[in-house]
Structure 1
Amino acid sequence: MRRSRRADTSALKSDDFHRDTQEAPVTATATPTAPRLEVRNLVRRFDGKRVVDDVSLSIAPGHVTCLLGPSGCGKSTTLRMIAGVDLQDEGQILVDGNLICDTVFRVPPERRSIGLMFQDFALFPHLTVGRNVAFGLSGSKHEQRERVVELLDRVGLLHFIDEYPHQLSGGEQQRVALARALAPKPRVMLMDEPFSGLDNRLRDGIRDETLALLKEEGTSVLLVTHEPEEAMRMADEIALMRDGRIVQRGAPYNIYNAPADREAVAFFSDVNVLQGTVKGALVDTPFGQFLTPGQPDGARVDIVFRPQHVGIDFDRAGRGPNPTPMQGAPARGLVERARFMGSESLVEFRMDYEDVVLKATVPNVFLPKPGTPMWLTVRRDRCFIFPVVG
């Protein structure tokens, strides 16, 4: 059973902390207009293949950027190069406008003023919570003790200072790992899927607490995640990565509402897709005509829209609602399946045209029976039009 007691900080002994002091990080004068972290044209090859392909990004002091993408797209490799545990084949990495690594010059990882947090927390099981947080701190024993007490108090774990990691819950271990990473006051924090091992019920709270503490410290953060919800919740900017490249960068609102391509839309939510052929800057669909600016005649296009932007209306003796400029024309389909998802219901329709299946989400409980005829409409201002690739 886990012990929990209030720690007497005056009882902290000098042997609770490392006797060896680490060499201080390289001191650098920040250029007033320079980003805190800047990555320029980073390339990494494995077996001749570019797993990181010309990646560039920058993070302002105190801001959070999420490197978001599917597994295997090069996110963690990018993080490893910035941390200094892997060496790029091309490109530069700068902190506060000062070069810390290119293909010739390289500041050692421990002197980059960059903190690291990993998915498994990587706490030392044989060290107490206090000694874990103090690991790698320089300065006098008194200074180390003050910093450890300050951070553990801020994450609400000061009373666990003499406990060991196995005596803590997963959420408590995550907060210890955060305190340890922040202890040396890094300019930049790199976080690789740090919340994925937590229970869903704890995750949102821990994420919010972590973000608040990082903001208080003024630390710039690069967070790697494959979860769009996590990126939307935490990021000032999202860098969407695919096949080793950053395909789009921007604020969460802009990434979600102005996606670069069909794959970008689909990464954040389920999508419905209609295809058509452009004629006179228009494409005909069962929902009426759509404008296709910039697309030549004869081009095939995808019309992409999310299930929450599909309207549903009842069948009235074979008729649906009247067309409107916002919703266009209605199209008829039969309910194929309806599922209650908690705060909303997901309804799938087999449309009368071309046997296409479309999805719609509606608030609360709406579970029409399979085979029920209904009419669907699509909001024109929530549709994205992209040329068909391939």
Structure 2
Amino acid sequence: MQLQSKIDSPRLEIRNLRKRYGHRHVVDDVSLSVRPGNVTCLLGPSGCGKSTTLRMIAGVDMQDSGEIYVDGQLICDTVFRIPPERRQIGLMFQDFALFPHMSVADNVAFGLKNAREEKRDRVEELLAKVNLGWAIDKYPHVLSGGEQQRVALARALAPRPRIMLMDEPFSGLDNRLRDGIRDETLAVLKEEDTAVLLVTHEPEEAMRMADEIALMRDGRIVQQGAPYNIYNAPVDKQAVAFFSDVNVIHSQSNGALTDTPFGQFLTPGWEDGAPVDIVIRPQHFKLDFDRDGRGPLPTESDGVAARGVVMRSRFMGNESLVEFVMDHDGSELKVTVPNVFLPKPGTALWLTVRRDRCFVFPAEN
């Protein structure tokens, strides 16, 4: 039981961190934890406080209030503070910051204080993990961007940090390399049993890498959980829109039901007359190709079919994006269709929607 408790305890824990610059709360009451071998992503738009949170954990910035713990031990509050170099926290940034006048081996060994043979053994071990053993005596300028990123990872891991802080580390790589480098990096970090806190503004990166996502907005964490839960049970309309395009239908609740052109939606708990926004992702519409006003009725889960006219269509690779103007009120809807589907502008089609995949939120003013 004692062993299980130790395994389940967080490696990194921050409690109620706050940071102000002038009258602006850049970080406002942020709390989270990361366990060994797990990746937590701080996800949010630029300027929401992600990087400031990272700098406070690293010890570069000092919080105005709140506490930071590593393996249950306090490392920083507003009175007590362990210096950055003694926190056993590794850092990786978009800028690889390799020393151009040093070999790959010397770059990786830079933060090590071991004897020379021990340093060499650790360097060789890490370069083998990142598939760069052949580059041990090369210099950074002869390596590609992806290879330099892997050297930076090896250097950050060399002192065996208990925690790795990563601030947009892959944004400088082109799309062709990014996925492979991310996967390789994640594998090495998990093998080292390092707790990882990754900052990114890209939802796809967070979904791909994270065991848990903390969605930030205006200095606060507005939702936290596994990627599946964050995506499928968003806390508000902005959370839905951060991960994908959205369509919004404005309506009013009436007797726990809301009328829309696509049928009635269940809105239990809402007062009669309460304005609501029904939020629908483009992939949750269906095109009713058999319907011409006389075809089969949609299933109960698909609600009622509504007619729209194609404005434009574009092929996006794995899917096609079709934009409609709807007959009932002239509103515009975005619909994604698998594979190639490029109807001409002016084509009339009927749409249904998966009501069980929609979200209902209070209407915004």
Tell whether the structures are fold-level matches, with TM greater than 0.5.
yes
For 2:253, the aligned partner's letter is V
- Counterpart-to-counterpart distance in 2, 1:320 and 1:289: 21
Contact 2:291 2:350 in 1 (8 A): no
- Residue 320 of structure 1: CA displacement? 5.6
Is 2:19–2:65's contact at 8 Å kept on the other side of the alignment? yes
Matched, 1:86 2:54: no
Query: Which residue of the partner structure matches residue 145 of structure 2?
Result: 170
How far the C-alpha of 1:31 sits from its partner, in A, is 5.8
2:27 to 47, 52, 55: 52
Q: Quote how far apart the aligned CAs of 1:389 are.
A: 2.7
Deviation at 1:317, TM superposition (A): 4.4
In 2, distance between residues paired with 1:204 and 1:115? 22
Q: How far off is 1:157 after superposition?
A: 1.1
Conserved 8 A contact 1:313-1:321: no
Q: Does 1:375 align with 2:350?
A: yes
Q: Does residue 1:69 correspond to 2:44, yes or no?
A: yes
Determine the structure 1 residue equivalent to 2:266.
291
**1:295–1:84 distance in 2 versus 1, CA, 3 Å:** same
Matched residue count: 361
Q: Distance in 1 between matches of 2:268 and 2:78?
A: 44
Q: Greater shift after overlay, 67-76 or 309-318?
A: 309-318
Structure 2 distance, partners of 1:294, 1:191, is 42
Tell me, in whole angstroms, the C-alpha distance in 1 between the residues paired with 2:111 and 2:315: 51
- For residues 277-311 of structure 1, give each alpha carbon's deviation from its aligned partner in whole angstroms, at most 9, with x where no partner exists: 11111111000111112211121111001111100
Report whether the alignment pairs 1:254 with 2:235. Answer: no
- Tell me if 1:111 matches 2:75: no
**Deviation of the 1:192 alpha carbon:** 0.4
Instruction: State the Cα distance separating 1:39 from its structure 2 match.
Output: 0.5
Unaligned runs of 5+ in 1: 1-29
The Cα RMSD (Å) is: 1.3
Residue 134 of structure 1 pairs with residue 77 of structure 2: no
Question: What CA distance in whole angstroms lies between the structure 2 residues aligned with 1:315 and 1:338?
Answer: 20
1:44–1:315 distance in 2 versus 1, CA, 3 Å: same
Contact persistence 1:320–1:375 (CA under 8 A): no
Deviations 1:51-72 (A, max 9, x none): 1010000011111000000111
Q: Distance in 2 between matches of 1:370 and 1:135?
A: 61
Contact 1:282 1:292 (C-alpha < 8 Å) held by counterparts: yes
- Give the whole-Å Cα distance in 1 for the aligned partners of 2:295 and 2:98: 62
> C-alpha distance in 1, partners of 2:296/2:250?
23
Identify unmatched segments of 5+ residues in structure 2: none
* Aligned match for 1:215, one of 190, 211, 216: 190
Distance 1:221 1:309 in 2: 34
| Compared CA separation, residues 144 and 317, structure 1 to 2 (3 A) | closer
Deviation at 1:275, TM superposition (A): 0.8
SS at match of 1:314: coil
Same amino acid, percent of matched pairs = 75
* Superposition deviation, residue 34 in structure 1: 3.0
Task: Report whether the alignment pairs 1:339 with 2:314.
Answer: yes
Query: What residue number does 2:11 align with?
Result: 36
Partners of 2:357 and 2:185 lie apart in 1 by 34
Q: Distance in 2 between matches of 1:186 and 1:320?
A: 64
1:240 corresponds in structure 2 to: 215
SS of residue paired to 2:300: coil
